[in-house]
Amino acid sequence: MNRAWILALLLAASLPGAHAAEPLRVVASFSILADMTRQVGGDHVDVTSLVAPDSDIHAFSPSPTDARHLTRADLLVFNGLQLEGWMQRLIEASDYSGVRVTASDGITPLAGDGPADDERDDDHDHDHDHDHDHGEADPHAWLDVARGQQYVANIRDGLIEADPAHAEAYRRNAARYLDELEALDREIHDLMAAIPEAQRVVVTGHEAFGYFADAYAVRLLSPAGLNTASAPSAADMARLIDIIRENQVPALFLENIANPGIIRQLAEETGLPIAGTLYSGALAREGEASTYAGMMRHNATLLHEGLTSTKTQD
Report the C-alpha gap between 60 and 86 in whole angstroms.
Answer: 9
Helix (H) / strand (E) containing 35 = helix 31-41
Of 240 and 92, which is predicted with more confidence?
Answer: 92
Residue 126 has pLDDT above 60, yes or no: no
Q: What per-residue confidence (pLDDT) applies to 14?
A: 45
- 119 φ, ψ (degrees, to nearest 5): -90, -5
Residue 117 has pLDDT above 50, yes or no: no
Q: What per-residue confidence (pLDDT) applies to 232?
A: 73
By percentage, how much of the chain surpasses pLDDT 90? 67
List, for residues 235-255, the tens digit of each pLDDT value. Answer: 888 888 888 888 889 999 999
Report the C-alpha gap between 170 and 174 in whole angstroms.
Answer: 6
Written as one letter, the residue type at 27 is V
Provide the pLDDT confidence category of residue 9 given band limits of 50, 70 and 90. Answer: very low
Residue 204 has pLDDT above 90, yes or no: no
List the single range of 7-21, 127-141, 143-157, 192-206 with lowest mean pLDDT. 7-21
What are the residue ranges of CATH 3.40.50.1980 in the chain?
24-182, 191-308
Q: What per-residue confidence (pLDDT) applies to 275?
A: 95
In this prediction the pTM is 0.84
Over the range 228-250, which residues count as b (16 or more CB within 10 Å of their CB) and which as e? bbbebeeeebeebeeebeeeebb
Report the C-alpha gap between 203 and 266 in whole angstroms.
Answer: 10
Provide the pLDDT confidence category of residue 2 given band limits of 50, 70 and 90. Answer: low
Q: What per-residue confidence (pLDDT) applies to 130?
A: 45
Beta strands of the chain (E only): which ranges?
A: 24-30, 45-51, 75-78, 99-102, 201-203, 219-221, 252-255, 274-278
CATH code matching the domain that covers 24-182, chosen among 3.90.550.10, 3.40.50.1980, 3.40.50.800, 3.40.50.20? 3.40.50.1980
- 297 φ, ψ (degrees, to nearest 5): -65, -40
List, for residues 160-177, the tens digit of each pLDDT value. Answer: 999 999 999 999 999 999
Supply the mean pLDDT for the chain: 85
Provide the pLDDT confidence category of residue 200 given band limits of 50, 70 and 90. Answer: very high
Would you call 101 helix, strand, or coil by DSSP?
strand
Mean pLDDT of 113-133: 39
* Number of Cβ within a 10 Å radius of residue 155: 27
Would you call 49 helix, strand, or coil by DSSP?
strand
* Number of Cβ within a 10 Å radius of residue 304: 18
Tell whether domain 191-308 is in CATH 3.90.230.10. no
Angle at 203 between CA 202 and CA 204, to 5 degrees: 115
Residue 92 has pLDDT above 90, yes or no: yes
Mean pLDDT of 12-32: 74
